[in-house]
Each structure stands twice: as C-alpha cells, then as structure tokens.
Structure 1
C-alpha cells in the first residue's frame, strides 16, 4: 500500500521533544495501591493492546522490582530486549517493572491517538536495537530512545492519519476476535466428542494402532537429490534441513501426508503432527491403523485432544520421551465410520476457516505496517 503523503510542512523532532518520561515510583506502597501488574511477557509483539496481565487478587506473586506506576494513556516501552518489539499503550493504571519506560505524550505537540504507532515503526526499532548495550542482559538507555528523530506532521494531519491507523487496527482486532472464537470452538468440539460423550463404547488404542519408531538414515545431505528427512521443524514449517539420498532409502522409513506422527523425544514430546512426503526422523513415531473401521483422521483428532495428557506422562529426565504404554492404553470412542467422517469434516472446516482468517490477519498487518512505515 503506497500513499502519497506530502511531508513538506512536517518538522523534524526528537522523541524527548514530544514525550515526557514519567518516574512515578512507589517502592513501599505500590503493591497496596494497585492490583494489576504488567510483565513484558504480557505484551504482544507489534501490538499496542494489553490483553492480559497478572493480578495480586488471584494470588500471583509480585516481583520486588515491580514498583513503577503506569497510567492509562501512557506508552510502555521495555528497554530490555527492544528487538522483541513489545511496546504497549496502557489501557488502565497499574504497576510494571523498573526497566520499562513510561512515556506520556505532550499534548501541545501531539494528537494522543496518533503517536502510539510510532513505537511500532521500522525506523524506531532500527534505532533502538542499534543502541543496545550489554551482552548478558541486552538493553537500551533512555537517552538513546530520547534522541530518536522523526518527522512530525501538523496536528490536523495527525488527526486524519490517526483515524486511518486506528481503523486498520480495528480491522485486525476484529479478525483476531474471529480467530479466537474459532480456536475456542475447536477446543469445545474436541471436548464434546472425546470427553463429554459418556455413552459410546470405548476401545484401547493398542487394539487399533501399532507404533513404528523412526530411524536416522546412514547418510544425510544438506542439499542434492533425494527426499526430505522429516524432522518436527520440517513438518511444522516446511523448511528442509536434510535430504535422504536414494541410496539410503531402503534403510529409512518412508511417510506421506496421510500418516499420523508423534514427536517421541525431546521437550515437545507428545506433539501430534500429520506427515509429509519424505522419511521419518529418529525422534518421531508413526501410528499405523490396524482396523479398517477406524479412520486415520478421526484417530488424529482424538490424539490431538489427548496431547496434553500424553505430554504430562512423558518419562526420562535428561531427554523426555513418550511413554508407549500411555498411548496404548488410552481409550478411544468406537463410532460408526459415518459419524467419524462427520466429525472429521467439522474439524477440517474449522481448520480451513482458521487458516483463512490467519491469512487475512497477516495481510491486514502487512498493510498496517506499510502505512506506519510510510508515516513515521
């Protein structure tokens, strides 16, 4: 999105010219004055919105370094790890950590609704990440942030641009709400079919599946002729790290898009994935369906519901791995093939809608970022 913006009457200012750094610290009594406190982890990358926080009323412990008070309408900029792009617009009063800047716009220069988007512009992050000091605890200083220069339009133009920027932001937030609803529906249906159903006959998984562990081929290439070595990374992202050459195929386990796979070893042991065309990695297992009256995708959806239970039951302290007995003794509902197909179709519909809305969000964010970078 390219807009023709006349910047001839815009003036160069430093951030310190239009913002005041507020230092409202109360080491002794802040925890008694405010319930909600905000960690950097509560802030989403490249989003001005605060959607979660911690609460003392809920029994969450307040870090002793959390005594800085922030006020609604202030910009919260964490100086540690600025490359994470977590800057938020405070929507309530609360407490945050001492290393988060609390910045208040000077309204004689600024339209308050306009300026928050500055903090998610590419030029601002290039400036702040370029000013990082410290290797163990990388951070930038207020004086470096304060010296950031940018072009500031007259207030009437700020108001018009603010209206456009927030309209785009509203679209993204509406799309995010749709996505959140779809994901909640997905979880609700998993629970409905695989937990709430107390009437269906159930059968242990060991009677309908067999488990085949992957193995590392004798030869792996970084590039060349062959098929992908299907690691968890490749299955999630499509990024190929290794190729299995044709000469090693007879010593490898071939898989395709219809195979149900379980990440067997490592920190994410128990994660369920569908396969891709290639060869099974040594950290993965393939589940083969032994009974024709159970559909692969139905078994996959059931195991997706059981993933957290499987992960909690992993064994081994150094390298966690899935307990095969745990999987084999899970009881799956025994439904007709017709009912299994109906459930599969419903979950596929939700998945397709999630994919569609995620694409829309990605497109909307790219459009918003393009405009922000043109303005600031």
Structure 2
C-alpha cells in the first residue's frame, strides 16, 4: 500500500449555479446524517441562496463543525450549502466508490477538527483537509474493499430501518392498548381516596 494525501486522489469541485433552480434538489447541512455515508433527505425549495453545484457520486462533506461527522455520497446532481465541501474523486487515483468511506471515517474527522478555524462555528478549508494522509491499496483491491463496505452499509441501513419500524409498531400497539382501557375521571379516584381515609378514621 502507498501513503497518499487526500489532495492526491480527490479535488474540491467549485462549479456554481446562480440561475433558475426549479426542479433542482437542494442539500443543506441538516440533510446530512452524522456518521452515515448515505444521503436520505434533501429539499427542492427554490427560495434559498445556495449556488454550489455537485454531481452524482461526489462526496458532500460538512466542513462546519466537523465533529458532527457529516459526510455522504450524492445519489443525484444538485446544489448544496456553502458549508458543504464538494469532494470529487480523481478516478485514475482512487475508486470513486471507495472515496465516501475514506471521507466518512473518524480519523479524517479528527484531523478536520484539528485543522478547523473559528470558535463559535469552526470550519475547515479544503486547503487543510486535503493534507490528510491515508494508506491506499492498489486499484483492484480498492474495488474489492469498496464492494465489501457498501454491502456492510446496506445491511446496516436495513437493520436501522427494521429497528425504526419495530419502534413505530410498538408505539402504535401501546397507544391501541390504552384506547381499549376503561376511561375514568380523575375526580372518581380522588373521591375513592377520600372515602377510604374517612373509613380509616372511623
């Protein structure tokens, strides 16, 4: 394996769209899920100031408050917040399917936090982030590794989805159970308590 820097295998995409945004999907920091390489939400609100373009396959890295660990691969073309760095693979240097996992890892986020500037809302610049060093295997090995990681990610997402659905089912059953209970007024219970105390005194 060879030691390379992030800037050797990827670039920051800087194209912008200042025209009509009708039908264009919008991604803000709020749409990136911490520690999740999959982008599952976005917006199509044209009333925004975002102009930074990204393409399908780019990695959207949350450069503000990097400790939140927000980075995901774009499943479509769109526009994103200025607080997102658009990272694009140099395809003859790294497998584009592997790059999202190179970005979405604790070592890179720790590095990003250390290179961030600002107190209230720290941000890291690409000029700093691109210095992150990694051990990179050969292209054939990268492809195998990417395939394995995406398979694991798919299983993880399916498991989380199952947990969420189970949680919703339990909640609905709990609510249904309470609906079937006999409803009595609080005053009835208070009256019963008073009668009990009176009887105790007698």
TM-score by length of 2: 0.85
Q: Which is bigger in relative contact order (C-alpha 8 A, separation at least 6)?
A: 2
Q: Where do 5+ consecutive residues of structure 2 fail to align?
A: 194-202
State how far apart, in whole Å, the 1-side matches of 2:182 and 2:15 are. 63
Does 1:43 pair with 2:24? no
State how far apart, in whole Å, the 2-side matches of 1:53 and 1:208 are. 50
Shift, 1:176, TM fit: 0.7
State how far apart, in whole Å, the 2-side matches of 1:164 and 1:189 are. 38
Does 1:82 pair with 2:66? yes
Quickly say closer, same or farther: Cα 1:206–1:146, change in 2 above 3 A. Answer: farther
C-alpha distance after superposition, 1:101-124 (max 9, x if no partner): 111111111112222111122221
State how far apart, in whole Å, the 2-side matches of 1:77 and 1:206 are. 57
Shift, 1:28, TM fit: 3.0
Shift, 1:38, TM fit: 1.5
Residue 164 of structure 2, aligned match among 180, 183, 206: 180
The CA RMSD over aligned residues, in Å, is: 2.1
| Equivalences for residues 16-55 of structure 1 within 5 A | 16-29=7-20, 31-34=21-24, 36-55=25-44
Equivalent residue for 2:98? 114
Say if 2:9 and 2:89, in contact at 8 Å, map to a contact too: yes
C-alpha distance after superposition, 1:333-370 (max 9, x if no partner): xxxxxxxxxxxxxxxxxxxxxxxxxxxxxxxxxxxxxx
Q: Where do 5+ consecutive residues of structure 1 fail to align?
A: 1-9, 210-289, 291-376
Shift, 1:33, TM fit: 4.7
Quickly say closer, same or farther: Cα 1:208–1:76, change in 2 above 3 A. Answer: farther
Equivalent residue for 1:330? none
Say if 2:23 and 2:44, in contact at 8 Å, map to a contact too: no
Shift, 1:194, TM fit: 4.2
State how far apart, in whole Å, the 1-side matches of 2:113 and 2:188 are. 56
Shift, 1:27, TM fit: 2.2
Quickly say closer, same or farther: Cα 1:206–1:178, change in 2 above 3 A. Answer: farther
| Equivalences for residues 128-139 of structure 1 within 5 A | 128-139=112-123
State how far apart, in whole Å, the 2-side matches of 1:194 and 1:95 are. 46
Task: Give the length in aligned residue pairs.
Answer: 191
Quickly say closer, same or farther: Cα 1:206–1:13, change in 2 above 3 A. Answer: farther
Say if 2:29 and 2:83, in contact at 8 Å, map to a contact too: no
State how far apart, in whole Å, the 2-side matches of 1:74 and 1:38 are. 13
| Equivalences for residues 1-376 of structure 1 within 5 A | 10-29=1-20, 31-34=21-24, 36-56=25-45, 62-64=47-49, 66-194=50-178, 201-205=182-186, 207-208=188-189
State how far apart, in whole Å, the 2-side matches of 1:129 and 1:32 are. 35
Equivalent residue for 1:281? none
Secondary structure at the aligned position of 1:55 is classed as coil
Shift, 1:89, TM fit: 0.8
TM-score by length of 1: 0.47
State how far apart, in whole Å, the 1-side matches of 2:155 and 2:85 are. 28
State how far apart, in whole Å, the 2-side matches of 1:119 and 1:208 are. 60
